[in-house]
Chain A
Amino acid sequence: MSETIIKREEQEFLEEEICVAENLVYSRPKTLTDLDLHYCPGCGHGVVHRLMMEVIEELDIQEKTIGVAPVGCSVFAYQYMDVDMQEAAHGRATAVATGIKRVLPDRIVFTYQGDGDLAAIGTAETLHTCNRGESIVIIFINNAIYGMTSGQMAPTTVPGMVTTTSPYGRDVKLTGYPLKITELVAQLPGTYFVTRQAVNNPSNVRKAKKAIRKAFEYVQLNRGTCFVEIVSNCPSNWKMTPVEANKYVEEVLIPFYPLGDIKVPQEESK
């Protein structure tokens, strides 16, 4: 397209009635604080934070939502999410959330956890919380690496993937296999909604938002745990540009961690 054509299209676009100020400004949800995110350029955390806070704003549940932040890159999640929050010890977020939900059963409680937090050091808490059917939302960010400690192998690091503690590629004979914990929790009677999404392209971001919204709607029925895995990226520790990282998500991670709903409420599946 030549520049003149672009200019003409822009002109036509701006003349349409839809181009009023409020539609042009891509604004921050009021449930997200005005701080600059500390995340690296291209990181999926910021996208997921935004999606969650959009959902909390749209459902108008800010006043009754309490979040639990993990240890990992998103340890500071509570600085960005404008809801009451507790910072848990590494791996213990779902136990902390259990404590909150049990004493405040009419509140909406969520945890936000990375793969090391949820699927390595916190595996026992994760499985037992889901197995008890605690009616909380668990947002599980799987980027197959330890981000905060600079790129060590995670429980979800895929075979052959290079990390600082698997420098020749993950050898499953030596380190065991990646843990597909989302498929595992879907087997438990306590989970109500289990899904795996990604945020590597606009289409997946939209689907992820729908899934997060469903989780926050379903959890209010108090029928069990709503578990949303988000396959994310880590450009810095993968030593890739953000574009390369999102391509890696598409070409390597998603084939290993297929997207879609794994367990949906029976009412809906009928």
Chain B
Amino acid sequence: MGELRLMKGNEALAEAAIRSGCDAYFGYPITPQSEVLEYLAREVPKRENINMVVLQAESEIASINMIYGAAGAGKRAMTSSSSPGISLMQEGLSYIAAAELPCLVVNVNRGGPGLGTIQPAQSDYFQATKGGGHGDYKLIVLAPSSVQEMADFVRLGFDLADKYRNPVMILTDGAIGQMIEKVELFEQQPTSGTIPKPWATTGKTKDRERNIITSLHIDPKEMEKINLRLQAKYREIEEKEVRYELFKTEDADYILTGYGLSARICKKVVEIGREKGYKLGLIRPITLFPFPKKLFADIATRIKGILDVELNAGQMVEDVKLSVDGRVRVEFYGRMGGIIPTPEEVLEYFENTFLKGD
């Protein structure tokens, strides 16, 4: 068993970065995730044999481009921010995805749009899963729903990034980032990953041609070829990397679905709903891209309806609807602007509104 600690989500994530052999963190303060940079700035200098670079950049724009440079140099690099800061990083993320650089970006989602609020929200789902920046590209998106997963998904995220040469995003929210829970920490990794990076710009030695990291391909034939290669990679990721959690779905008449914080709420709704005699189950997508399309398509034929719960105006629900393709009724319940509904409120909606649509 690994080391047990009581930790804040953001701090568990930062500790996991150190333990994953992250070589460089570049970031800019923004609520509700500033603890990540603070923790690393405080802890890294104390650790012997840890040479991690921790640098506060002048902006999120600079942070993401420092990640580009460090990842291009073959190192494990990460940054974290919250919604407005993540918006500033979209240009860089598009370049990173196009240049196929492995890295980890964390979005501790807060309510928007605009400057919004510092309270938790899930309103950046579209931005995270549909590209976010310009061009046809995808991030691998992991959605933790506990402090434990905040830690575990850092290592998983780095490994997936290296494996597919693709940026990975951990999409979480202010509540998961700020909540304190028990976490079992994995051991310090001796190296920053085992996958060789012969493409990295480390200096052109005599035994090889020069390495170039670029996303510029003026010839449309070449650009199309690269797009096709990227799309093939995304299909492979969809085939191999779907992750989700099921809770009491075996005998369920109705499925609740949500990710991260809303899934935690839904789990409670399933429990109190079952006490009242409703056969509820929960599907919690863990990878938002790749989305568990097949799972929803398969289950659609044997249930009476799906209630999708999110802390936004209805974003993941579009993927749920596309997946079930009209085979079952899908409804949405959401709160916005930093409001977190109680399980009772969700159950009340289920009983008094959702069921009436049957």
Q: Tell me the A residues contacting B by CB distance below 8 Å.
A: 62-66, 68-69, 75-76, 78, 82-89, 92, 95-104, 107, 124-125, 128
Give CA–CA (A62, B201) in the complex, Å: 12
Beyond A85-B210, A125-B65, whether A99 also contacts B70 by CB under 8 A is yes
- What is the distance, in angstroms, from B271's C-beta to the closest C-beta of chain A? 47
Residues of B close to A89: CB separation below 8 A:
65, 68, 91-92, 95
Q: Which of A69, A88, A92, A100 contacts B73 (CB under 8 A)?
A: A100
CB-CB nearest in chain A for B54: A102
Q: Are B75 and A65 in contact (CB under 8 A)?
A: no
Binds A, one of B56-64, B154-162, B165-173, B292-300: B56-64
Which of B47-89 touch A at CB < 8 Å? 53, 55, 57-59, 61-63, 65-73, 75, 77
The residue on A at minimum CB distance from B70 is: A99
Contacts of B202 in A (CB 8 A): 66, 84, 104, 107
Bound complex: CA of A125 vs CA of B67, how far in Å?
Answer: 14
CB <8 Å contact, A96 and B65: yes
Question: Residue of B at shortest CB range from A128?
Answer: B58
Contact at A92–B212, with CB atoms within 8 Å?
Answer: no
B195 is an interface residue with CB less than 8 A from chain A: no
Tell me, in angstroms, the Cα distance from A98 to B231 when the chains sit together: 31
Looking at B67, B203, B206, which has the most chain A CB atoms within 10 Å of its CB? B203
Contact across chains for B67 and A99 when beta carbons are under 8 A apart: yes
Q: Give the shortest distance, in Å, between A224 (CB) and chain B (any CB).
A: 16
Q: Is B283 close to A, CB under 8 A?
A: no
When each residue 26-47 of chain B gets 1 if its CB lies under 8 Å from chain A and 0 otherwise, what string results? 1000000000000000000000
User: Given A68-B69, A103-B75, A104-B202, is A78 in contact with B212 using a C-beta cutoff of 8 Å?
Assistant: yes
Q: Is B213 a contact partner of A85 (Cβ separation < 8 A)? A: yes
How many angstroms from the CA of A88 to the CA of B99 in the assembled complex?
A: 10
Per-residue CB proximity of B271-313 to A under 8 Å, as 1/0?
0000000000000000000000000000000000000000000
Residues of B within 8 A of A92 (CB): 61-62, 65, 68, 92
Q: Which residue of A lies closest to B75 (CB)?
A: A103
What are 30 A-B contacts with C-beta separation under 8 Å? A62-B203, A63-B204, A63-B206, A65-B204, A66-B203, A83-B203, A83-B210, A84-B201, A84-B211, A84-B212, A85-B212, A85-B214, A86-B212, A87-B214, A88-B69, A89-B65, A92-B61, A96-B69, A98-B69, A99-B66, A100-B70, A101-B69, A102-B55, A102-B66, A103-B53, A103-B73, A103-B75, A104-B202, A104-B203, A128-B57
Residues in B neighbouring A85, C-beta threshold 8 A: 201, 210-214
**A to B contact number (C-beta, < 8 Å):** 130
Q: How far is the CA of A87 from the CA of B92 in the complex (A)?
A: 12
State whether the Cβ of B23 lies closer than 8 Å to any Cβ in chain A.
yes
The interface size bin for chain B is 35 or more
Shortest distance between the CB of B40 and any CB in chain A (Å):
14
B68 and A96 contacting across the interface, CB-CB below 8 Å: yes
Q: Which residue of B lies closest to A107 (CB)?
A: B203
Complex Cα distance A76/B218, Å? 10
A103 to B23, CA, bound (A): 7
A99 to B27, CA, bound (A): 12
From A64, A82, A104, residue with most partner B Cβ within 10 Å: A104
Give the CA-CA distance A102 to B66 in the complex, in Å.
9
By a CB distance below 8 angstroms, the chain A residues around B4 are none
Q: Is the CB of A63 within 8 A of B210?
A: no
Q: Contacts of A75 on B, CB cut-off 8 Å?
A: 216
Identify which of A66, A89, A99 gathers the most chain B CB atoms within 10 Å of its CB. Answer: A99
B191-207 interface (Cβ within 8 A of A)? 201-206
Residues in A with CB closer than 8 Å to B69 are: 68, 86, 88, 95-101, 103
Given A68-B69, A99-B66, A99-B72, 10 more A-B residue pairs with CB atoms under 8 Å apart are A66-B73, A87-B99, A92-B61, A95-B57, A99-B73, A103-B23, A103-B77, A104-B75, A125-B62, A125-B65
| List of A residues within 8 angstroms of B210 by Cβ | 82-85
> Would you call B24 an interface residue if the criterion is a C-beta within 8 Å of the partner chain's C-beta atoms?
yes
- Does B215 touch A at the CB level, under 8 Å? yes
Q: How far is the CB of A241 from chain B (nearest CB, A)?
A: 28
CB-CB under 8 A for A64 and B66, given A84-B210, A125-B58: no
Q: B75: which A residues are within 8 A, CB to CB?
A: 103-104
CA distance A90 to B206 in the complex (A): 31
Q: Which 5 A-B pairs have the closest CB atoms?
A: A99-B69, A95-B65, A87-B214, A99-B66, A84-B201
A83–B214 CB distance below 8 A: no
Q: Give the distance in Å from the alpha carbon of A107 to the alpha carbon of B203 in the complex.
A: 8
- Cβ-defined contact, B212 with A124, below 8 A: no
Residue of B with least CB distance to A98: B66
Which listed residue, A63, A86, A99, A125, touches B214 by the CB 8 Å rule? Answer: A86
Cβ 8 A contact of A102, one of B24, B72, B95, B215: B24
Residue of A nearest to B215 (CB): A87
**What's the minimum C-beta distance from A67 to chain B, rounded to whole angstroms?**
9
- Complexed CA–CA distance, A95 and B64 (Å): 8
Residue pair A86, B57 in contact (C-beta under 8 Å): no
Q: A182 CB to closest chain B CB, in angstroms?
A: 20
Interface centre among A69, A75, A78, A89 (most CB of B within 10 A): A89
Given contact pairs A87-B216, A95-B62, A100 touches B204 in the complex (Cβ within 8 A)? no
B215 and A96 contacting across the interface, CB-CB below 8 Å: no
Given contacts A103-B23, A124-B62, contact A63 B205 (CB under 8 A): yes
Residue of A nearest to B51 (CB): A103
Q: How far is the CA of A107 from the CA of B26 in the complex (A)?
A: 20
Q: Are B62 and A86 in contact (CB under 8 A)?
A: no
In the complex, the chain B residue whose C-beta lies closest to that of A83 is: B204
A66 to B201, CA, bound (A): 7
B residues within 8 A CB of A96? 65-66, 68-69, 72
